[in-house]
Amino acid sequence: MPAYKAPLRDMQFVINDLLEMEQHYRSLTGCTELSADTLNAIIESGAQFSQEVLAPLNRVGDEQGCHFENGKVTTPDGFKEAFRQFGADGWQSLSVPESEGGQGLPSSVGMIVNEMTGSANWAWSMYTGLANAPITCLLAGGSTEQKATYLPRLLTGEWAGTMCLTEAHCGSDVGLLKTKATLNADGSYSITGTKIFISGGEQDITENIIHAVLARIEGAPKGTKGISLFIVPKFLVNDDGSCGDRNPVNCGAIEKKMGIKGSATCVMNFDGAKGFLLGEENEGLKIMFEMMNQARIGTALQGLSLGEAAYQGSLTYAKERLQMRSLTGAKNPEGGADPIIVHPDVRRMLLTQKAFVEGSRAFLYWLGQLVDETDFGTGDEVSKKEAEDLLGFLTPIAKAFVTETAFESTNHGLQVFGGHGYIADHGMEQIVRDTRISMVYEGTTGIQALDLIGRKVMGSGGELLRVFTKRVHKFCEANKENPALSPMVEKLAEVNREWGELTVSLGEKAMQNADEVGAASVDYLMYSGYVVFAYIWARMALVADQKINAGSQDAFYKAKMLTAKFYFDRLLPRTKAHAAALLSGAENLMTLPESDFAF
């Protein structure tokens, strides 16, 4: 099993050199001041918890899984104790405002910690991640009384939570949900219906579970306009904050899954359970929207976390495993064979992993900054609007592209091990299985692609795309004379221009046939992701070049430059295939009659 070690050197590069986080935090208001020393202490403490407490439980969770009997779920050994320690140490309340009982730190700090806990043990981290669902909903739409009732114990980790959106017949189309809410005489509601795929819906870790539930009040409009949001506790809460009567919400089954087996994925039955409306009737999605955006970025973080875990495992193995001789002569003449890291194809896989993982880290940490700016920024309205536009445009790219490339990376990690990668003892096949769900969670790649091209690009008349491409253009103009960067900048400028041309062409086709949007959407998103990563890697290369020119002898910066070159030479050319595919049109997809999809 790979021994996880937090990648502190690369994290510090992104935080300090690339994003200048300390200066960023000084520009925020409404959150606790955060110095570089304090941030370093938080990260190092999070690394220690992840490495020493969570990583040893990762294989335990996969081998033991969760067990369901008589409506009760038993989680793997050690999960409960780790969850309690996480809460007691204050991690759950890190990015909650001080006025609501939290520590008031920007959400980007929580993202950094969550990367490490996720790499160490993603299945376990699902329980803490889902505890944030009712917290976020309460902060967005809860009354003073509701927040006082639920937040204190959610923030200490005494209670956990879920988000209950999905139903068997509707999947991501929540407008079709059937769960009903009936008003009671005391102002509460009776919630009746069944939700599926509810992570942590039942567990033996906490004494109470607070469910955030979407339901339709009787007489409400059909579709998404008639959806309301409710808090439904497993145990009703007494006036003194203790657990009272059992609410009729029960787990009917847990799913047998491909991966993340330590996380209980539940079928939840609400049989007239007492629920409490958050916000106004029929405005549940407005409150839920903030949580869903966070969840999409959180799922992208799953890709980063597990991609990092796979890279660490394959890199360690490639340095130690002796097999065959180098094509250019023995590199380990005293041994019977050379370490496989000398072979070009193994290096291709390792560099692909490295480029995607480090690119994902820089990209997602930057999105964390944008979230901070939208929540706590002190800039003018134009600056805040730009941050909001960038965040809205980039979120579907982050969720889909980072998870797609993470799955590729984890498969490379398994492949480096050869046949040993397929064996459970080495832990690589678990990482592949645990990563696969990330492309499905919070809307599949196809749904994210439609959101990007339909709502964000076409829906804004191309304005959101231009907000980003203008930024890229300014970067290219500023750095085109830099001899170390000019080959990268030239390629970046080319795909940046082509991106706009492809969008115009696709828009013209879509005016004649709306299916053109759906047919091109995933290729368009993947093209977009490669361009975004090119911009990110060019920025990292610029910083590394500046450090080298300033006299740094740190090999880390040279490695950044070489990895950036690999990205532009080997991975960015994939845009050509995606461009050709998205321009090929809808006809090659839609003309085959349904009856001819035969077997």
What are the pLDDT digits (tens) for 556-571?
A: 999 999 999 999 999 9
pLDDT for 32: 77
Residue 180 lies in a domain: no
- Rounded CA-CA distance 474/341 in Å is 39
517 phi/psi in degrees, rounded to 5? -65, -50
pLDDT for 1: 67
Mean pLDDT, residues 275-299: 89
Residue 42 lies in a domain: no
**CA angle (38, 40, 45) in 5-degree steps:** 95
CB 292 within 8 A of CB 442: yes
Residue 362 lies in a domain: no
Residue 119 lies in a domain: no
Helix H, strand E, coil C: the string for 349-364 is HHHHHHHHHHHHHHHH
Residue 546's domain comprises 460-587
Helix (H, G, I), strand (E, B) or coil at 10: helix
Which residues touch 404 (CB under 8 Å, ≥6 apart)? 303, 439, 445, 526, 529
Residue 548 lies in a domain: yes
Domain count, the chain: 1
Residue 524 lies in a domain: yes
| Closest listed residue to residue 531, CA positions, set 412, 363, 301 | 363
| Closest listed residue to residue 127, CA positions, set 166, 96, 81 | 81
Band of residue 486 on the pLDDT scale cut at 50, 70, 90: very high
Q: Fill in the amino acid letter for 80.
A: K
Band of residue 493 on the pLDDT scale cut at 50, 70, 90: very high
pLDDT for 175: 79
Q: Fill in the amino acid letter for 98.
A: E
Mean pLDDT, residues 120-148: 95
pLDDT for 294: 84
pLDDT for 551: 97
DSSP 8-state symbol, 189:
E
Mean pLDDT, residues 35-43: 93
pLDDT for 2: 77
Q: Is the pLDDT of residue 288 over 70?
A: yes
| Closest listed residue to residue 413, CA positions, set 320, 362, 351 | 351
Residue 553 lies in a domain: yes
Please give the share of the chain, as a percent, with pLDDT higher than 70: 100
| Closest listed residue to residue 224, CA positions, set 292, 286, 306, 301 | 286
Burial 344-375 (b: 16+ CB within 10 A, else e): eebeebbbbbbbbbbbbbbbbbbbbbbbbbbb
CA dist list (Å): 339 to 13, 307, 317: 29, 22, 9
pLDDT in tens, 140-165: 999 999 999 999 999 999 999 999 99
**CA angle (300, 305, 306) in 5-degree steps:** 100
pLDDT in tens, 512-551: 999 999 999 999 999 999 999 999 999 999 999 999 999 9
CB 535 within 8 A of CB 552: no
- Rounded CA-CA distance 436/205 in Å is 25
pLDDT for 30: 81
Which residues touch 61 (CB under 8 Å, ≥6 apart)? 76, 79, 121, 123, 124, 261, 262, 263
pLDDT for 231: 97
Residue 194 lies in a domain: no
Mean pLDDT score of the chain = 95
Q: Is the pLDDT of residue 289 over 90?
A: no
- Residues classed as catalytic: 442
- Rounded CA-CA distance 56/77 in Å is 11
Size (the chain), residues: 599
pTM for the predicted model, two decimal places: 0.97
Band of residue 313 on the pLDDT scale cut at 50, 70, 90: very high
Q: Is the pLDDT of residue 440 over 80?
A: yes
Q: Give the chain's end-to-end CA distance (angstroms, integer).
A: 41
Tell me the HSE value of 258 on the side-chain side, using a 13 A CA sphere. 10
Q: For residue 361, how far is the Cα from the chain centroid?
A: 11
Q: Is the pLDDT of residue 11 over 80?
A: yes
Q: Is the pLDDT of residue 471 over 80?
A: yes
